[in-house]
Amino acid sequence: MTIPKIVHLTWKNRHLPPPYETILRHNEAMSPGYRFVLYSDEDLDRLFAGAGNDLCEAYRRLNFGQARADLFRALILWQHGGVYLDVKIRCRTPIDRWLRMDSDALWYSYWDGLWFNRDHLENEWGEIQNWVIASPAGHEVLRDYLETTTRRILNATRMERFTLCGKEGVVLLTGPVAYTRVLERHPEKTRRFRSVDHLDYGSSFHGLDDTHYSRSTEPVLLIERDRLAELTQ
């Protein structure tokens, strides 16, 4: 298996804010052998509509776009392979410097020196950076993540439905912590690289949108948000 030279990105529409448009053009120029594809929310809706009943239902139950994007990156890499990058990630070196395209592994990086959410994970390294992942199509780890996360969303306990809220809820349910738990079950199928040597995390989404999920206390599961609204009327 090989990793295709395609980079998948997502934003709510096809009109990136100027800072992220600049980053995209920079990354394209730095890795001219790669095709960069930007997916909108409408593209994600269509993708999941054809992805099977359970996965589609799990996607539809998610309240935050960030949580839906977590599922998206796994599904698009599972279907097509390639590299997933958040739109705010600026490459400091060409992709071929840190990724072996002839590899059959899933490539990822930890937050070296920061070890976020080590308390939740009870591991040495904390959470992975799920804003950059690369793999061939059909990778076993991605399938495991999609199946595990779908089950957790559809079978969430009552406590989880009302306590998984805002950014922390997303991180735990669909995001870096969820990815890390799955990846650590497959050490022989993955390869680690040091993103700090090749990528800049870039400016945050926080300053671009007042509705950023870090400012929200709403439940991650959309159906529970609606129930809460009914209870408070």
The domain segmentation of the chain, as residue ranges, is: 6-231
Q: Where are the alpha helices (DSSP H) in 31-184?
A: 41-49, 53-60, 65-80, 95-98, 118-121, 140-154, 158-163, 166-173, 176-183
Does residue 48 carry a pLDDT above 70? Answer: yes
- Pick among 3.30.70, 1.10.3470, 2.30.30, 3.90.550: CATH of 6-231: 3.90.550
Confidence of residue 17 (pLDDT cuts 50, 70, 90): very high
Distance of CA 54 to the CA centre of its chain: 19
**Residue 26, H or E segment:** helix 18-30
Which amino acid, residue 90? Answer: R
Asked whether 99 and 43 are in contact (CB, 8 A), the reply is no
How large is the average pLDDT for residues 103-119? Answer: 69
Determine the Cα–Cα distance for residues 233 and 33; give it in Å rounded to an integer.
56
Does residue 113 carry a pLDDT above 80? Answer: no
How large is the average pLDDT for residues 77-104? Answer: 92
How large is the average pLDDT for residues 108-112? Answer: 67
Which residues on adjacent β-strands are paired with residue 38?
9
Let me know if 14 is exposed, middle or buried by CB neighbors in 10 A (0-12, 13-18, 19+). Answer: exposed
The better pLDDT of the pair 119, 160 is held by 160
Helix (H, G, I), strand (E, B) or coil at 62: strand
Full-model pTM: 0.86
